Copies of this chain bind each other. A is one copy, B any other.
Amino acid sequence: MIERVEQEIQRLVKEVGYEKAYELFEKLSGGKRLRARLIEKISGENEKSALLAAIVELIHAASLLHDDVIDDAELRRGKPSVNATEGSKVAVMLGDILYSKAFSELVEFDKTIAKTISSSVTALSVGEMLDVELAKSFNADEKKYMHMLYLKTATLIEAAAACAAMLSGKESKRYALFGKNLGLSFQIIDDILDITADEKTLGKPAMNDFTEGKVTLPYIYLFESLDDEAKAKLIKLHGKKLEPHEVEWIKTQMEKHGSIAKAYRYAQTLSEEAKKAVEDEAELVAILDKMLQRSY
């Protein structure tokens, strides 16, 4: 099924008419195409859904290009990032090309769909800025963190699912909730894996988030459980390269206070809500189950 979407993506990038952009795009890993798969599962396989899926994947690719510039990331999906091989300038412009091409294809859809998708990109960009802001100091505010997570990682999936529902005359609100909670719980699991998985599985040092200044949910929960002295110690470790004994200390504390289990339960709750919203769609429920099993 995804073949048709891949062809649409190729067609759109070729239509830009700039060989170098096409070559660079070809070198990117397409990833799991989660958003495209969701769209096709929700609205069925047809011309319109393939175009919408291609548009959303172009937007996602553009956001990753800019995200890697923001994070100075060397790797993306196991390959060297465009900013690493071609420089951040090329990554910025290639992102702009993909964004604008995606937007200019949105005119093929009705106003609500075009507005929903394009607004989610504004939210996503605000989320990126908030992410950078929050990482500047130790943020212990769960609400702030979850708001950032929603904007940065959930709004595009939420918009994609809602618009796929609109395309096929389904009730968009239910699918929006599904998409939103899928995005949020997916990210929480990712944050957990950054702590629990080993370096080899992650392809980056363990606890890399915290070193980069990102105080994810397990750290926020841990902080809430600690006494003042331990709180100060945790804050001191924030944003720096951790020694093995420091990694150990954080892990032991998280174990003791059940911080990771708490974050995991939250991801589960979100996922349960999502399942309930689309309980009549076995394939969507299966995606949620599979996603939760990534952890532990």
Contacts and interface: CB of A to CB of B under 8 A. Distances in A.
Give the residue among A20, A69, A101, A118 with the most B Cβ atoms within 10 A: A118
A75 interface: no
Interface string A112-136: 0011001101101110111011000
A172 interface: no
In the complex this chain forms, how many copies of it are found?
Answer: 2
A104 B115 contact: yes
Contact of A107 (B101, B114, B129): B114
Contacts of A16: 122, 126
Given A21-B126, A126-B16, A126-B97, A89 B69 contact: yes
A88 interface: yes
Nearest to A118: B104
A31 to B, nearest CB: 20
Nearest to A126: B18
A100 interface: yes
B70 A129 contact: no
Nearest to A119: B104
Interface residues of A, number: 39
B66 A96 contact: yes
A95 B82 CA distance: 19
Interface string A9-36: 0000000111011000000000000000
Contact of A118 (B20, B90, B107, B121): B107
Interface in A54-100: 66, 69-70, 88-90, 92-97, 99-100
A93 B118 contact: no
B115 A100 contact: no
A56 to B, nearest CB: 14
Contacts of A119: 100, 104
Chain B CB within 10 Å — which of A18, A88, A114, A132 has the most?
Answer: A18
A21 B129 contact: yes
Contact of A93 (B88, B111, B128): B128
23 contacts: A16-B126, A17-B126, A21-B126, A66-B92, A69-B89, A70-B89, A70-B93, A89-B132, A90-B129, A94-B129, A95-B96, A96-B124, A96-B125, A99-B100, A100-B118, A101-B122, A103-B118, A103-B121, A104-B122, A106-B114, A106-B118, A107-B114, A107-B115
Closest 8 CB pairs of A and B: A104-B118, A100-B121, A96-B125, A103-B103, A100-B122, A97-B125, A93-B129, A18-B126
Interface of A: 16-18, 20-21, 66, 69-70, 88-90, 92-97, 99-101, 103-104, 106-107, 111, 114-115, 118-119, 121-122, 124-126, 128-130, 132-133
